[in-house]
């Protein structure tokens, strides 16, 4: 790891704004982390995987064989404000608001967790496929790990219950991942944990592994009984939620009680409630989907009692 020659300010030595950062707990010495990486640095993240490909959890599409470059969602606004500004003072004001990505005072950047355990602890890993990611360029540390300028996946781990049951359909869906030309592993267990078994499914410069194919074709059949695959909503399942103030996202089912289900999305302390019948299985995307967030309740921090 080298410091960029142009880097004078070191973010790692800047004081933090948001209280205690989690990095040391996960083995990262921030004093040794420069603010700009020339060589990639390894972090961990989750992606949403649909028929269209993979996206960040906020919906931005990742392109195979191309570094993901984070853009600031305010950049376009600032640009037009600058163009429309009358007088040099106004123009300078908007000019001063433009920045490189990521910027400490903004929310922009490619978000990644510190490592796998950190992603599990903050409740993000269960939302999609997951894996190591190389990050480089400008790097900013924050409570959810990192915000980086550039990123590219190092490998993917795909929970087996996210892969379509029929192998031809599975291959069709996996194509989008194969195009990234990085190793793909299967996670046989439903729940994710550090150190669990990973089955090689598609390996760079080699292709599909016999072990992975036989798992998808033979072993997985034992999990299902009968001819028809019946999808039943279960705790731990992912649900794509459409609509809502910020366009929705991927939720994780936390509890099912009779005909109602409870899920979390943005924070583990905010639980949403919906009717089970309003959550539908989408065969094409091979996932649960629903429209509208449903009823919200906030949980008291550190407890499991309902506050409202």
Part of the chain binding Zn ion (CB under 5 A), chosen from 13-21, 28-36, 95-103, 212-220: 95-103
The C-alpha atoms of residue 99 and residue 67 are separated, in whole angstroms, by 20
Beta strands in the chain (DSSP E): 36-50, 53-55, 68-69, 110-112, 129-142, 145-153, 155-159, 183-187, 199-203, 207-208, 238-242, 248-257, 260-264, 270-275, 280-282, 287-291, 295-298
Cα 150 from Cα 122, distance rounded (Å): 22
Site for Zn ion in 252-291 (CB under 5 A): none
Choose between 101 and 265: whose C-beta lies nearer to Zn ion. Answer: 101
Pick between residue 103 and residue 169 the one whose CB is nearest to Zn ion. Answer: 103
- Of 68-76, 116-124, 203-211, 213-221, the window that binds Zn ion (rule: CB under 5 A) is 68-76
| Minimum gap (Å) between residue 135 Cβ and Zn ion | 17
Supply 184's token pair: 């793909």
Rounded distance between C-alpha atoms, residue 242 and residue 189, angstroms = 27
72 lies in the site for Zn ion, by CB under 5 A: yes
Q: State which of residues 33, 46, 54, 108 lies at the interface with Zn ion (CB under 5 A).
A: 108
Residue ranges in 198-227 that form contacts with Zn ion under rule CB under 5 A: none
Q: Is 106 a residue that touches Zn ion (CB under 5 A)?
A: yes
If the CB atoms of residues 99 and 231 are measured against Zn ion, the closer one turns out to be: 99
Identity of the residue, 78 or 235, whose beta carbon is nearer to Zn ion in the bound complex: 78
Which span sits near Zn ion by CB under 5 A: 14-22, 98-106, 181-189, 204-212? 98-106
Nearest CB to Zn ion, comparing residues 72 and 182: 72
CB of 176 to Zn ion, least distance (A): 28
* 110 belongs to the binding site for Zn ion (CB under 5 A): no
Cα–Cα dist 238/233, whole Å = 9
As given in the structure block, the two tokens for residue 10 are 């070191």
Interface with Zn ion: number of residues (CB under 5 A)? 4
Distance CA 261, CA 263 (A): 7
Rounded to 10 deg, the angle between the 167-178 and 210-217 helix axes is 140
Q: Provide the β-strand partners of residue 238.
A: 252
Q: Is 182 near Zn ion (CB under 5 A)?
A: no
Separation of alpha carbons 227 and 229, rounded Å = 7
Residue closer to Zn ion (CB basis): 130 or 147: 147
Q: Is 229 in the site for Zn ion (CB under 5 A)?
A: no
Under the rule (CB under 5 A), what is the footprint of Zn ion?
72, 103, 106, 108
């Amino acid at each position: 790891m080298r410091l960029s020659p142009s880097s004078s300010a070191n973010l790692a030595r800047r004081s933090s704004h948001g209280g205690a950062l989690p990095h040391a707990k996960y083995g990262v010495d921030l004093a040794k982390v420069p603010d700009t990486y020339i060589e990639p640095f390894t972090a961990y993240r989750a992606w949403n995987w649909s028929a269209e490909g993979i996206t960040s959890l906020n919906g931005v599409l990742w392109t195979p064989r191309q570094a993901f470059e984070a853009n600031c969602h305010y950049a376009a606004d600032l640009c037009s404000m600058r163009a429309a500004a009358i007088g040099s003072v106004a123009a300078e004001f908007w000019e001063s608001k433009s920045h490189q990505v990521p910027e400490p005072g903004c929310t922009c950047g490619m978000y990644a967790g510190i490592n796998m355990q950190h992603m599990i602890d903050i409740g993000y890993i269960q939302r999609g496929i997951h894996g190591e990611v190389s990050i480089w360029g400008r790097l900013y540390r924050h409570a959810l790990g990192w915000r980086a300028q550039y990123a590219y996946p190092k490998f993917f781990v795909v929970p087996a219950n996210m892969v379509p049951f029929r192998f031809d359909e599975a291959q069709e869906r996996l194509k989008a991942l194969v195009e990234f030309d990085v190793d793909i592993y299967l996670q046989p267990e439903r729940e994710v944990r550090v150190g669990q078994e990973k089955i090689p499914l598609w390996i760079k410069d080699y292709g599909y592994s016999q072990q992975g194919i036989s798992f998808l074709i033979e072993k997985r059949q034992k999990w299902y009984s009968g001819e028809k695959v019946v999808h039943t909503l279960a705790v731990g399942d992912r649900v794509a939620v459409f609509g809502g103030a910020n366009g929705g996202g991927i939720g994780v089912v936390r509890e099912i009680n009779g005909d109602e289900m409870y899920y979390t999305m943005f924070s583990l302390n905010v639980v949403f409630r919906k009717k089970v019948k309003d959550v539908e299985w989408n065969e094409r995307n091979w996932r649960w989907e629903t429209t509208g967030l449903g009823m919200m309740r906030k949980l008291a921090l550190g407890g499991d009692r309902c506050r409202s």
